[in-house]
Amino acid sequence: MSALPQQRVFNYPNRLARQNRQPQGVADFVLIDPYKFLEYANLERLFDKLPTGLPMAKDKAEPCNRYYHKWQVQEFSHFTPNHKKYIHSLIFDLDPSANDFNFMAWSDQGLPPPNIIISNPHKQNSCQYIYLLQYPVYTSKVHIKKWLDDIYVCMRDLLNADKFFNRTRSKNPFSPEHDTYVSGAEPYDLATLSDCAFIRRHENLLIQGKCGCGKSFLACALGRQACMLGYRTAYLNMNSFVEKVALSKLDGTFLKMITSLEKNELIILDDFGLQPMDTNTRLALLQILEERYERKSVIIASQLPINKWYDYIGDPTLADAILDRLVSNANKIELKGESMRHKKKK
């Protein structure tokens, strides 16, 4: 085994002076000394998982297309930690505006703490999370890889992380150029990352954003996760829900339809706000929410801002009752950015 590369100039006292940015939360995060990285359990785990030949680059603009031995890792600022044939780490890039940046975004969304946080010391509203997987996911295992992709999308949108981030490349947590924090959290299995905690807590989830930003994709990914974990799930867009209510009223199966929906532990109602609501639809929605309040969960995806839902529902009395049951115990996600459909066309 070759020795570590010669140390670069490293002003450790100056680094410690930046500990006012050190995250505080459920897990204890420690600002590391990069030249002693093998003393930190999660960095040692990550290093052991790295392939021997590692694509690395000395700056952000340089592509990671040249391979180096992993013991040279401290000479480079960026690298590609996952192997082409398997994935051992999930990487999220948080780079929002300074006004809405939150170092502890994972905690606010009820997610488990990352194993590693990499921060740019020169840009205070930028960091990356690394979640280590207990077992690698091989890309040849299509169904498990699909499950992993769904988990990644859900976590990414809950964290409000960059949707167009290249998942294969990240800041190098072993580099002295970055501030790296490690937690005491153990590596995660897929079931832990996809536990759909809001369903266990009987909470609702409201997803709002412009057209094409990924609302339906996120709602369906959460629905698939719920199914994988054994939660009975139903998906309806607003158009099909209105039609289902109207037809059940005509053929006398309204109560049967409501009873069937109530059996689901999770109901996804997509495109909320696109189809006008009549009285029967309002009453049906109220009845469903009344039966589910603090017992089961609903996901609503809508282009309309939540503060405009009252006007959309129409009837003031029913709107008050519906929103009271829907919003009071809800988690809210606002998706931002340009349309993913437009991005694909470019």
Return the pLDDT at 16.
44
**CA-based nearest residue to 176, from 4, 47, 2, 11:** 11
Question: Interhelix angle for 279-292 vs 316-327, to 10°?
Answer: 30
Return the pLDDT at 129.
93
100-104, 158-162, 178-182, 275-279: segment of lowest average pLDDT: 100-104
Residue 215 has pLDDT above 70, yes or no: yes
Overall average pLDDT of the 75-92 stretch: 90
Overall average pLDDT of the 289-296 stretch: 89
Residue at token pair 């807590």: 201
Instruction: With beta carbons less than 8 A apart as the criterion, state whether 191 and 112 touch.
Output: no
What is the SS3 assignment for the chain? CCCCCCCCCCCHHHHHHHHHHCCCCCCCCEECCHHHHHHCHHHHHHHHHCCCEEEEECCCCCCCCEEEEHHHHHHCCEECCCCCCEEEEEEEEECCCCCCCCCCHHHHCCCCCCCEEEECCCCCCCEEEEEEEEEEEECCCHHHHHHHHHHHHHHHHHCCCCCCCCCCCEECCCCCCCEEEECCCCCECHHHHCCCHHHHCCCEEEEEECCCCCHHHHHHHHHHHHHHCCCCEEEEEHHHHHHHHHHHHHHCCHHHHHHHHHCCCEEEEECCCCCCCCHHHHHHHHHHHHHHCCCCEEEEEECCCHHHHHHHHCCHHHHHHHHHHHHCCEEEEEECCCCHHHHHHC
Q: Which CATH class is domain 197-345?
A: alpha beta
**How far apart are alpha carbons 120 and 94 in whole angstroms?**
11
pLDDT digits (tens, 9 = 90+) for 265-284: 999 999 898 888 899 999 99
pLDDT digits (tens, 9 = 90+) for 218-231: 888 888 888 877 88
Overall average pLDDT of the 112-125 stretch: 82
Residue 234 has pLDDT above 90, yes or no: yes
pLDDT digits (tens, 9 = 90+) for 32-50: 888 888 889 999 999 999 9
* 81, 218, 253 from 87: Cα distances, Å: 9, 21, 49
- Compute how many other C-beta atoms are within 10 angstroms of the C-beta atom of residue 295: 9
Q: What's the whole-model pTM score?
A: 0.65
121-125, 143-147, 264-268, range with greatest mean pLDDT: 264-268
Overall average pLDDT of the 129-143 stretch: 89
**How far apart are alpha carbons 6 and 10 in whole angstroms?**
12
Overall average pLDDT of the 138-146 stretch: 84
Residue 56 has, within 13 A of its CA and on its CB side, a CA count of 21
Could you state, in order of their start, the residue ranges of all structural domains in the chain?
12-193, 197-345
Return the pLDDT at 233.
93
Residue 52 has pLDDT above 80, yes or no: yes
**Over pLDDT 90: what percentage of the chain?**
24
Residue 149 has pLDDT above 90, yes or no: no
What is the average pLDDT score of the chain? 81
Return the pLDDT at 247.
93
